Amino acid sequence: MSKKSIFIKDGVNYATPFMAISALFLTWGIAHGLLDTLDKNFQELLHLKKWQSSFIQVSLYGAYFCMAIPAGLYTKKYGYKKGIILGLSLFGIGALLAAGTAPLQSFILFLFCLLVIGAGLATLETGANPYTTKLGPPESAERRINIAQSFNGFAWVVGPLIAISIYGNRSHVEGEKMISIILPFAIIGLAVLAIAFVFSRLKLPKIDEEDLIHAHGAAPTPGGDMEISDPSHPSYISKKPLWKNKHFKLGVASQACYVAAQTGVFSYLINFVTDHDMHPRFDVQYGPYFLSLGFFLFMMGRFSGSALMRYFKPTNLLACYALMVCVLLPVVSLKLGWISFVALYGVFFFMSIMFPTIFALAIRSLGTHTKQGASFLVMSVGGGAVFPPLMGYVSDIYGMAAGFFVPIPLFAFIAYYAIEGYKIKP
């Protein structure tokens, strides 16, 4: 007997729109991969401390926190497609602003441009992430969002390679320090606006509130099927107000912990491999290659994780991966030479499935509250604005290796969510 397709629901094949939406994950993956590479570059060119350069992440992820709720309201009113087009438009405009203002050599102005980019990315994720979970049967939602996020993982690999052109300009001449960001940001901005135009012409299936009710068992089907009352059933829907759902509240907290920890690890890998106290130690100009390698393992973790979810429960896989990260981070921090170096790349691999899996688990059973719930989950990405300065501050005082102790409690909470917190209560 053939296995049920993860893209066919009620006789409708959603594979084509799923692929179109998955392509969007490339856009914000490139943005994040590029921006996480720039911390070390700005530290050297503008003589910033680690905690100061982390304001790149503060601006980007702070925009997620501020924009997620408005984006959710916009998506709820106008639908997923218009929300996606708005997100792409803001993203493209922000990138072009960064390119246009670079000759002014202002780090503060660059941070403002990142706010605009972040607002666009937040709007994109508010629409695209939950949309993937609806393009097929509810029991395979975690697999679909992990597959879509695998495209995101591939783009993270590309982002640092684009940054090589920025690292290539080591000029310290006034008026030239930020000149190298113009071309890559201009190309990204124009490409994203072109994608927005293409999406405005595409026909995507509209999933409205009534569709969500029937898709998740919140109301009897036309054939007279009874309402599903078992919370463990994939099509169960909660009757509670949004914030009365404990699995959702813990999911928001888990997502905030994950993005906070992920952003810290991603942002400081180049600092780690180029730190003067580390052995082996590498030259700064090769930093983007090392980050790209980390993102490659991150991408492979998502592809393999999506495949493993055919055989293992997503929650079991999430718990196992979170615990592995808790084991590897102390090894990174103990400065054990190549062992610590390899352990850090292991952290990249095991972080891979966390964001999409937590997202899918947290919005499960929300029914008509799905779009609102998704906006709060995207808002929790704001955790990435708070944590990097803290990790950078610890690293400035105690050394870069010691900074990797800091994320351990956050991953421990994610393990708790995967073991117990995800369970839906009636």
- Residue 219 pLDDT > 80: no
Least confident segment among 16-20, 230-234, 311-315, 321-325: 230-234
Average pLDDT over residues 52-72: 87
Cβ atoms of 155 and 33 closer than 8 Å: yes
Weakest-pLDDT range from 42-56, 104-118, 167-181, 265-279: 167-181
pLDDT at 94: 95
What is the dihedral angle through the alpha carbons of 139, 145, 150, 155, rounded to the nearest 10 degrees?
Answer: 170
pLDDT tens digit sequence for 351-364:
999 998 999 899 88
Percent of the chain's residues with pLDDT above 70: 90
Q: pLDDT above 90 covers what percent of the chain?
A: 35
Rounded to whole angstroms, the Cα distance separating 202 from 281 reads 49
pLDDT at 218 over 60: no
Mean pLDDT of 293-301: 91
**Neighbour-count burial for 113-131, b at 16+ CB within 10 Å, e otherwise:** bbbbbbbbbbbbbbbbbbb
Copy the structure tokens of residue 143: 């697999």
Range from 168-177, 235-244, 307-316 that averages highest in pLDDT: 307-316
The reported pLDDT for the residue numbered 313 is 92
Has residue 377 got a pLDDT over 70? yes
Which comes out higher in pLDDT, residue 4 or 324? 324
Residue 177 pLDDT: 63
419 versus 276: the higher-pLDDT residue is 419
- Residues in a beta bridge with 12: 9
Residue appearing with tokens 């499960």? 364
pLDDT value, residue 214: 45
* Mean pLDDT value across residues 266-283: 86
User: Tokens 């290539």, residue?
Assistant: 168
| Of 411, 406, 408, nearest in space to 392 by CA | 406
Residue 206 has pLDDT above 50, yes or no: yes
Cα–Cα dist 326/410, whole Å: 9
Nearest to 61 by CA among 388, 375, 385: 385
Predicted pLDDT of residue 391: 92
* Better pLDDT: 310 or 172: 310
**What is the arithmetic mean of pLDDT over 62-81?**
86
Write down the CATH number for the domain with range 242-420.
1.20.1250.20
Highest mean pLDDT among 63-77, 265-279, 335-349: 335-349
Q: Is the pLDDT of residue 35 over 60?
A: yes
Section 240-262 average pLDDT: 93
What pLDDT is stored for residue 160 in this prediction?
A: 84
Q: Which is nearest to 50 in space by CA: 397, 421, 406?
A: 397
Domain with CATH 1.20.1250.20 in the chain: 8-207, 242-420
Q: List, for residues 153-203, the tens digit of each pLDDT value.
A: 788 888 888 877 776 555 555 556 678 888 889 999 999 999 999 888 888
Mean pLDDT of the chain: 84
What is the DSSP secondary-structure string of 266-300?
A: HHHHHHHHH-TT-SS---GGGHHHHHHHHHHHHHH
Q: Indicate whether 103 pLDDT > 70.
A: yes
Is the torsion defined by CA of 251, 253, 254, 258 positive or negative? positive
Residue 341 phi/psi, 5-degree rounding, is: -60, -50
HSE value, Cβ hemisphere, 13 Å, CA-based, for 346: 18
Q: What pairs with residue 9 in β-bridges?
A: 12
pLDDT at 326: 97
The mean pLDDT of 244-264, rounded to a whole number, is 94
pLDDT of residue 75: 83
Q: How far is 29 from 320, CA to CA, in rounded Å?
A: 25
CA dist., res. 36 & res. 156, Å (int): 9
The residue-averaged pLDDT of 236-263 equals 91
Q: Which of 134-143, 255-264, 304-313 has the lowest mean pLDDT?
A: 134-143
pLDDT at 215: 44
CATH architecture of 8-207: Up-down Bundle (1.20)
Residues with Cβ within 8 Å of residue 129, at least 6 apart in sequence: 145, 148, 356, 359, 374, 377, 378
